[in-house]
Structure 1
C-alpha cells in the first residue's frame, strides 16, 4: 500500500472538517472513497478544533452571563456548527433500537428522517445531562476543550473492531467506515492520549478518565449493537460520540 502523501493528508483533514461540521473547507479537495476513509483519522483533531471554539465562546459568554446561560449558549453554538450531526445519530439509533423488532425493521427506522418518541426523549435527556454536567464541572473550559476530541476516538474504535451493517448505496457513512486501519486507529489514540496528558495539568482526572470513557462506551454500546444489529451504522457511530462525552463529563 502506498504511503499517503502530505497533500492527501491535508485534504483528508479538511474533508473530515467538512464531514463533521459546517465549517467551510479551506482546501481544494480531490474527492475519492479512499480519501474519505483516510479522513477518519482526523476526527479527534476536528474535535479539538471544535473544543477550542467552544472554550473561547464560553469565555466570551461568561463575561456577560451566568455560567448556566453561557453553557446553554455554547451548546446552541455546538448544535449549529455541527448541524446536530451526532445528536441526530443518537435520536435515530434510539428510535430504531427501541421500536424495531427485527434487524431489517431497525435499519429501516434508522433511515427514516422523522424523529419518534424514543429518539426525542433520548435527545432531550442527553442535552439536559450534558448541560448539567458541564455546569457541575470545576473547569468548564477544559471540559469543553477536551471532550469533543476524546469522544471522537470512540467511533474509530468501533469502526476498527466491528462490521458495517446497512445499505452502502444509501449511506454517506460507508466511505468513512470502510476499511479503517488499525495503524490509523493507533495514531488517533496516541493523539488523544497526548492531548489528555497535556491538559491533565489542570485536571488530573482527565487522563484517568479518557481511556475508561472511550473503552466503556465502545465495549457496552458495541456489544449492544452486535446483539441488535450485528454491527454498526453511521447513526450508531454518532451516538457513540454523545455517549462518550457524557461518560467523560461524569468522570470530571
Structure 2
C-alpha cells in the first residue's frame, strides 16, 4: 500500500526532532518511533539544526553585546555552544587527532579513537581550534552573520564525507552507524540545496558567501577526506564530528579575510 501523505509528514517531523536530539542537548518534544532508517533519514536535517543553533548564537550575541566587550560576548557564546551541543563535534576532533597522531596502524588508530581519555594531540588541537574560532570571529565584519551561518554550512561537511568514503568503525559499538547506513545521494542533494538557499538569502551582507560555503566544504572533503582514507581507510563518527569543526574554521578564515580586504 502507498504511504499516506500524513504518515510521510509525520515521519519527516520525527526525523527532524531526531536530528535535534542527536546533535544537541535539546530534549525531543515529540514521540519518536525510532528505527535505524529514521535515524539515517534524520541526517538531511543536520544543516537545518545547524541554522537553528546559529540563530540562537546570533541572538545571544546580540543580547549580551550591549553589556560587554566583543571578546567577552564571544566567549559567552562559545560556552553556550559547548553546553548546548555537549561538545559533540569538539570531542570528535580531539579523538580523531589523538588517533591519527598517535596510532601507527589502522587498528591502533581505531582503538585510540574509541578511548574516552584525551591525549596531548587532542588537547592541543582542541585548544587551538577553540582559540582560532574566537579570534576569527573577532575579525569578521558581521559577527552575527558568521555565528548564524557557520553552524549550518559546517554540518553539510559530514554528509559529503558519508557519500565519498566508506564507514570503517565496528558497527556493533558505534553510535553513528544508523546515521551513516543507507545515507542516499537524494538526501545529500536536498541538504546541499537547503544550504545554497540559506547562503543566497544572506548574500546582501556577504556577497561571496555561496562561494565561501563551496570552498570550505570542498576543502574539508578533499583534505580531511584524503587523510582519513589514507590513515583509516574511511570515516568514523568522530571523524565526521571533526569535519564540522574544520569546516567552520575554513569558512571563518574566508569571512575574516573578506572583512579585512573590504
Structure 1 and Structure 2 fold alike (TM over 0.5) = yes
What is the distance in 2 between the residues matched to 1:110 and 1:211? 29
Does residue 90 (structure 1) correspond to residue 93 (structure 2)? The answer is: yes
TM-score of the superposed pair, with normalisation by structure 1 = 0.98
Q: Which aligned segments of 4 or more residues in structure 1 are displaced greater than 6 angstroms?
A: none
1:163 to 125, 147, 166: 166
Does residue 66 (structure 1) correspond to residue 60 (structure 2)? The answer is: no
Check whether the contact 1:151–1:242 (CA below 8 A) recurs between aligned residues: yes
Between the two proteins, the alignment pairs up a number of residues equal to 251
2:53 to 50, 53, 67: 50
Check whether the contact 1:205–1:251 (CA below 8 A) recurs between aligned residues: no
What is residue 83 of structure 2 aligned with on the other side? 80
Shift of 1:208: 2.0
Does residue 197 (structure 1) correspond to residue 200 (structure 2)? The answer is: yes
TM-score of the superposed pair, with normalisation by structure 2 = 0.94
Shift of 1:26: 1.6
What is residue 241 of structure 2 aligned with on the other side? 238
Check whether the contact 2:46–2:156 (CA below 8 A) recurs between aligned residues: yes
Segment drifting more, 196-205 vs 31-40: 196-205
Does residue 136 (structure 1) correspond to residue 139 (structure 2)? The answer is: yes
What is the distance in 1 between the residues matched to 2:185 and 2:222? 17
Check whether the contact 1:18–1:24 (CA below 8 A) recurs between aligned residues: yes
What is the distance in 1 between the residues matched to 2:124 and 2:112? 16
Listed one character per residue, the Cα deviations across residues 137-159 of structure 1 (whole Å, up to 9, x for unaligned) are 00000000000000000000000
| SS of corresponding position for 2:166 | coil
Unpaired runs of 5+ residues, structure 2, are 256-262
How do 1:1-252 and structure 2 match up within 5 A? 5-252=8-255
Unpaired runs of 5+ residues, structure 1, are none
